[in-house]
Amino acid sequence: MNNQPDNNATPLGVWLDRNEQLLRLRFNCPKANLVDAAMITALQGAFEQYAQQSRLKAVLLDAAGPHFSFGASIQEHLPEGCAQMLHSLHQLIGSMLEFPVPILVAIRGQCLGGGLEVALAGSQLFAAPQAKLGQPEIQLAVFAPAASALLPPRIGAARSEDLLLSGRSVGADEALRIGLIDQLVDDSEMAALAYFDQHLAPHSASSLRYALQAVRGDYSQRIRTRLAEVEALYLEGLMQTRDAVEGLTAYLQKRPAIWENTA
């Protein structure tokens, strides 16, 4: 029995699928599906609620509407709120990396900024042909802390620097070529469900958990350490500069930024 979400006003759809062996999570604030405080809280709550469900074999995270996520809330990046926002997001990333079963992520449309950071905490990323993925934060004179920790192990240092320093987005073809996504498919949700049915559902739930723990090793702890380091760099270094605040403020005021170019 599938318990479909019945409240369209909630930021996150949460239900069980595939005989309660698959946890479905769906961003439910189209078209932007912002990873803001409300979304982060909802995701954290879902992962905490279902972590001990012994029948669970996987999670599928996808999104309502044409786009996976436009990213985080720019307003929440301003100095008065960014410390809490980063702490909450990084706690969520840690919870995802330590979740006892694999997290499948189905992407279509734009998958940017904080949205891509959340996706990168998944196990397998499935993307539709028109997907665009990127970390545009540098265009606002800030950087992406979680992606700075998550991208290098996935795509290597040079490619990570390219995406993080240029702020450019890549199409699904390039994302597959550089290892940013795992499968390029016509329908990302259906492909993720098919992957679950063929490769995960036939196996023992308890054995899957031990196998995932074995293959991950100390990865989550290493990422948590890096997240703490880049969070401190962001708050104690970057956000003390005029340009970081100017970039965010200019975006919100819909005007060109004027850089001071000094640390």
In a domain, 51, yes or no: yes
Residue 114: per-residue pLDDT = 98
pLDDT lower than 70: segments of the chain: 1-9
Residue 30: per-residue pLDDT = 96
Cα-trace Rg, the chain: 18
Residue 5: per-residue pLDDT = 52
Residue 9: per-residue pLDDT = 67
Q: What is the CATH number of the domain that holds 148?
A: 3.90.226.10
In a domain, 112, yes or no: yes
Q: Taking the CB of residue 221, how many other CB atoms lie within 10 A of it?
A: 13
The residues, any chain, with a CB within 8 Å of residue 63's CB and separated by 6 or more, are 26, 27, 28, 30, 33, 69, 106, 107, 108
Q: For residue 23, which of 52, 66, 89, 206 has the smallest C-alpha distance? A: 52
User: What are the Cα distances from residue 209, in Å, to 21, 102, 186, 217?
Assistant: 13, 8, 29, 12
Per-position b or e across 166-197, b if 16+ CB within 10 A of its CB: ebebbbbeebbebebbbbbbeebbebbbebbe
In a domain, 194, yes or no: no
Q: Which residue has the tokens 């390039």?
A: 174
- Contact between 105 and 116 under an 8 Å Cβ cutoff? The reply is no
In a domain, 200, yes or no: no
In a domain, 199, yes or no: no
In a domain, 195, yes or no: no
In a domain, 197, yes or no: no
pTM: 0.95
Number of folded domains that form the chain: 1
Per-position b or e across 54-80, b if 16+ CB within 10 A of its CB: eebbbbbbbbbbebbbbbbbbebbbee
Range of the domain at 67: 1-186+206-258
Q: What single-letter amino acid sits at 220?
A: S
In a domain, 110, yes or no: yes
